[in-house]
Amino acid sequence: MLKVENLHVSVEGKEILKGINLEIGAGEVHAIMGPNGSGKSTLSYVLSGREGYDITEGRVLFNGKDLFEMSVEERAWAGVFLAFQYPVEVPGVSNIYFLKAALNGIRKFQGLDELDAMDFISMVKNKMKDLDMDEKFLYRAVNEGFSGGEKKRNEILQMSVLEPTLCLLDETDSGLDIDALQIVAKGVNRLRDPKRSFVLVTHYQRLLDYIKPDYVHVLAHGKVVKSGGPELALELEEKGYAWVDEKIAS
Amino acid sequence: MSASNENLKDMIGQEYKDGFVTDIESESFPPGLNEDVIRALSAKKEEPEFLLEWRLEAYRHWLTMEHPEWSFVEFPKIDFQDISYYSAPKSMDDGPKSLDEVDPELISTYNKLGIPLEEQMRLAGVAVDAVFDSVSVATTFKDKLAEAGVIFCSFSEAVKEHPELIKQYLGTVVSQFDNFYAALNAAVFSDGSFVYIPKGVRCPMELSTYFRINAANTGQFERTLIVADEGSHVSYLEGCTAPMRDENQLHAAVVELVILKDAEIKYSTVQNWYPGDENGLGGIYNFVTKRAECREENAKVSWTQVETGSAITWKYPSVVLKGDNSIGEFYSVALTNNYQQADTGTKMMHIGKNTSSTIISKGISAGHGQNTYRGLVKVGRNAENARNYTQCDSLLMGDQCGAHTFPYIETKHPSATIEHEASTSKISEDQLFYCMQRGISAEDAVSMIVNGFCKEVFKELPMEFAVEAQALLGISLEGSVG
Ligand SMILES: Nc1ncnc2c1ncn2[C@@H]1O[C@H](COP(=O)(O)OP(=O)(O)OP(=O)(O)O)[C@@H](O)[C@H]1O
Ligand SMILES: [Mg+2]
């Protein structure tokens, strides 16, 4: 599904990603861990097409197509979804309106008609129930005044409504209380599908207790310094990143 | 008399001879302004003596006035002798014969606004003989209003049918000496609308200039007078939500609202006159005096305006809060794109006791647009417990445009409570990216964010108007991103 080859990215002349290689197959769940400032968010932004990053080397193929040839919207329409580490507030725009505009944008690309308003509302309400979200959030402005945890949950709501094929979750677990973490994890697990892949950026093993990854990668100083199975996360939790650094050094 | 005046007189005389009396329906006056022109105009409209006198007083005063220079807008000096002050309503035969003859760009805008075909034809002035509903709609709605005792007609008609009402209320809110353009309007206004809601009547429908058959031809100096008698209520919608390609540049209207005891007027405007092209060429100068007087206790008025058109918008819908416990509200969205300029805001004059006012202003500037909010909150000597809340937000798109805020406050009573909040923001890259990452195109995202910014104002508009206003913002901002 996604193939990242020797990806080098700079911001304002400073190299942040220094040759990332990653291959993510359909239906797989990959966890990316790594110290603060190692480039995890940068990677998710570059994949989703945010401006301000210079791609100096390498390429990314998404379902065989050059990802960097696609605009932000085109990537979204083709199924790339980023759950933001810091979801953005859009004052005055209701959540329901936003969701509808997003879904219709995607459906239009897929050659589908707009969903009937009633069908749409009941579909969204069902998904909210799954995420234990109060319906009143539908009529509040997107993320405005939401608590940290509410924002994260709202990202997962958007993801379950839009049903993307490549889900990048940037620290969705940070800021969630224990119950919310379980609910969000359930929401993600419900979306797991042989045709859908996940990249979970996280600092905590805890999330991976609920969402079992197929692979775990450690990103440090702009490079994938170690990859392995779920056991790698446990090892990290126990030994800390210093252990990875030592391994690079040796 | 100077030679040039002599010439002018000759010319008018000639024109006169050639038939603007005999052939009333198809003539325009030649450019120029003097007392004879005003007399001729008044005669043509068969006005009573008092109105002619009123016009002449206005004109004589206007001659002594200087063109105001205090606003933030810039435009070349207007030659008032270069304007024709009377143009008979275009005969239907002169209009386009079908939509095919109408500027396709105009049609495309109509379509984007979702205006039904019949309405499009009417707006574009297509000659149609009572084919479809508009005529029957107009009739049913006239009947319904008459039943309720509501008077809703053109200003000229009101002058003929209800001269006593005109005499009683005309110029009592905006006098014929009020300001430069108001005096000019008083001297030469050609037509406009008149509304009277009798005591205790809740107008059974929203009154819209859409339905007033000759609204499209009221011209550049129109005058509107609305009187809400005791305990009555009316919602009035004004506007052209589609661009009018008008060769006339100056549009100097006057709107007067009189609100008596326990009455309420809600006045909504969506203004989208031709803004000029992307290089700032052409477009309408929209210099309008709008004022409401809450004359008696518990009177309430709210102005809601969405201003997206015109090359220059220069207006301050104001409220005189004379009656005790009266309420004035002003909700405004002003958008300037390309080289458009807007200097708009309101004046809230607190005179009675326990009066309150609310001002919500949203200015959006894109391209090279210049957007100014200018507001005055004045609390008089006897205005015990006056309250005002003002919120003024500006949104900038790009770095070539400007937003300016001039809030003035004058209080002469210590009990006044006045709150003012202001903000200036830019559409953030983060917001755009967030929307686009969800599959919303850049243009839709901009329009969505801008509409969100204006939400507090749009929610004051009647439903259909709000929908059109939203579509309009989107259209007005087309091409301003990316
Ligand atoms: N726009 C920018 N300008 C300058 N430096 C930037 C910019 N964006 C990212 N960086 C730098 O790039 C590095 C990687 O940042 P990034 O946000 O990708 O880290 P991260 O791995 O997501 O960290 P965290 O775990 O704290 O979320 C940091 O040193 C950061 O300061
Ligand atoms: Mg990060």
- Structural domain boundaries of chain B? 1-315, 322-482
pLDDT, position A191: 94
Residue-wise over A217-245: b if at least 16 C-beta within 10 A, else e? bbbbbbbbbbeeebebbebbeeeebeebe
Q: How far apart, in whole angstroms, are the C-alpha atoms of residue A216 and residue A199?
A: 10
pLDDT, position B240: 60
Closest residue in chain A to residue B436, using alpha carbons only: A73
CB atoms within 10 A of CB B271: 22
- Between residues B76 and A235, the one the model is more confident about: A235
CB atoms within 10 A of CB B38: 20
The strand pair at A14-24 and A2-11 is best described as antiparallel
pLDDT, position B120: 62
Whether residue B433 and residue A51 make contact (CB cut-off 8 A), yes or no, is yes
pLDDT, position A37: 92
Whether residue A76 and residue B444 make contact (CB cut-off 8 A), yes or no, is no
- Min distance B444 CA to chain A CA atoms (Å): 9
Q: Which structure tokens are listed for B158? A: 């009101």
Helices of type H across B364-462: 429-437, 442-458
Whether residue B449 and residue A48 make contact (CB cut-off 8 A), yes or no, is no
Which residues lie closer than 8 Å to A66 by C-beta, 6 or more apart?
A59, A60
- B56 and chain A in contact, CB less than 8 A: no
pLDDT, position B9: 34
Cβ proximity of B338 and B370 under 8 Å: no
Backbone angles phi, psi at A65, to 5 degrees: -100, 150
Burial-class residue B285 by CB neighbours within 10 Å (0-12, 13-18, 19+).
buried
Degrees (nearest 5) of the Cα angle B153, B202, B240? Answer: 45
pLDDT, position A106: 94
Residue-wise over A23-52: b if at least 16 C-beta within 10 A, else e? ebeeebbbbbbbbeebbbbbbbbbbbbbee
Directed axis angle between helix A95-109 and helix B442-458, to 10°?
Answer: 150
pLDDT, position B116: 61
Amino acid in position A54: D
Radius of gyration of chain B (CA): 22
- Min distance A17 CA to chain B CA atoms (Å): 21
Select from A38, A48, A170 the residue to mutate for testing ligand 1; criterion: most ligand atoms less than 8 Å from CB. A38
Host domain of residue A226: 2-249
Q: Which residues of A touch B437 (CB under 8 A)?
A: 48-50, 72, 75-76, 80-82
Q: Measured in whole angstroms, how far is the alpha carbon of residue A183 from the centre of its chain?
A: 17
Q: Which structure tokens are listed for A84? A: 């933001």
Amino acid in position B336: T
pLDDT at A44 over 90: yes
Indicate whether residue A44 lines ligand 1 (CB < 6 A). Answer: no
Radius of gyration of chain A (CA): 18
Length of chain B, in residues: 482
Residue with tokens 């009798």: B198
Backbone angles phi, psi at A45, to 5 degrees: -65, -45
Directed axis angle between helix B442-458 and helix B429-437, to 10°?
Answer: 110
Point out the ligand nearest to the CA of residue A36.
1
Q: How far apart, in whole angstroms, are the C-alpha atoms of residue B359 and residue B136?
A: 39
CB atoms within 10 A of CB A110: 9
Closest ligand 1 atom to Cα of A52: 1
Q: What is the pTM of this model?
A: 0.79
Cβ proximity of B463 and B452 under 8 Å: no
Q: Which residues of A touch B428 (CB under 8 A)?
A: 88
Q: How far apart, in whole angstroms, are the C-alpha atoms of residue A23 and residue A63?
A: 11
Ordered DSSP codes for B404-432 = EEEEEEEE--TT-EEEEEEEEEE--HHHH
Best mutation target, B360, B391, B428, B434, to test chain A (most A CBs within 10 A): B434
Distance A186 CA to ligand 1 centre (A): 29
Q: Which residues of B touch A141 (CB under 8 A)?
A: 452
Reference A133, options A115, A117, A147; nearest CA is A147
Residue pLDDT tens, chain B, 482 long: 333 333 333 333 333 222 222 233 335 677 788 898 899 889 988 999 999 999 999 999 999 998 888 777 777 778 888 777 776 554 444 556 666 666 666 666 666 655 666 666 655 555 433 333 344 445 557 778 889 999 988 888 899 999 999 999 999 999 999 999 999 999 999 888 899 999 999 998 888 775 433 333 445 788 999 999 999 999 998 876 444 444 446 778 899 999 999 999 999 988 777 777 777 677 777 888 999 999 999 999 999 998 887 778 888 999 999 999 999 999 999 888 877 788 889 999 999 999 999 999 999 888 888 888 989 999 999 999 999 999 999 988 878 888 888 889 999 999 999 999 988 888 888 999 999 999 999 888 988 898 888 888 988 887 777 777 777 777 777 766 54
Cβ proximity of A150 and A131 under 8 Å: no
Q: What average pLDDT does this structure show over A118-123?
A: 92
Residue with tokens 């960097």: A68
Q: How far apart, in whole angstroms, are the C-alpha atoms of residue B68 and residue A16?
A: 58
- Min distance A193 CA to chain B CA atoms (Å): 20
- B440 and chain A in contact, CB less than 8 A: yes
pLDDT at A249 over 60: no
Q: How far apart, in whole angstroms, are the C-alpha atoms of residue B145 and residue A39?
A: 69
Degrees (nearest 5) of the Cα angle B385, B387, B390? Answer: 165
pLDDT, position B130: 32
Q: What 8-state DSSP symbol labels residue B428?
A: -
Degrees (nearest 5) of the Cα angle B13, B17, B20? Answer: 95
The strand pair at B222-228 and B254-259 is best described as parallel
Nearest Cα residue to atom 29 of ligand 1: A37
Residue with tokens 């700079």: A10
CA torsion sign for A225, A230, A232, A233 is: positive
Q: Which residues of B touch A98 (CB under 8 A)?
A: 435, 438, 440, 448
Of B429, B449, B456, nearest to A90 by CB-CB distance is B449
Q: Which residues of A touch B451 (CB under 8 A)?
A: 92-93
Q: How far apart, in whole angstroms, are the C-alpha atoms of residue A223 and residue A221?
A: 6
CB atoms within 10 A of CB B408: 11
Indicate whether residue A40 lines ligand 1 (CB < 6 A). Answer: yes
Residue with tokens 């009529």: A139
CATH of the domain at A182: 3.40.50.300
Length of chain A, in residues: 250
The strand pair at A65-66 and A14-24 is best described as unpaired
How many separate domains does chain A show? 1
Q: Measured in whole angstroms, how far is the alpha carbon of residue A184 from the centre of its chain?
A: 13
CA of A58: how far to CAs of A22, A32, A75, in Å? 12, 20, 18
Indicate whether residue A172 lines ligand 1 (CB < 6 A). Answer: no
Question: Which residues of A lie inside 8 Å of B (Cβ-Cβ)?
Answer: 48-52, 71-73, 75-77, 80-82, 84, 87-93, 97-98, 101-103, 105-106, 109, 141, 158, 162
Reference B325, options B347, B359, B297; nearest CA is B297
Helices of type H across B333-428: none
The strand pair at A54-62 and A2-11 is best described as antiparallel
Helices of type H across B16-103: 35-44, 49-63
ipTM over 0.85: yes
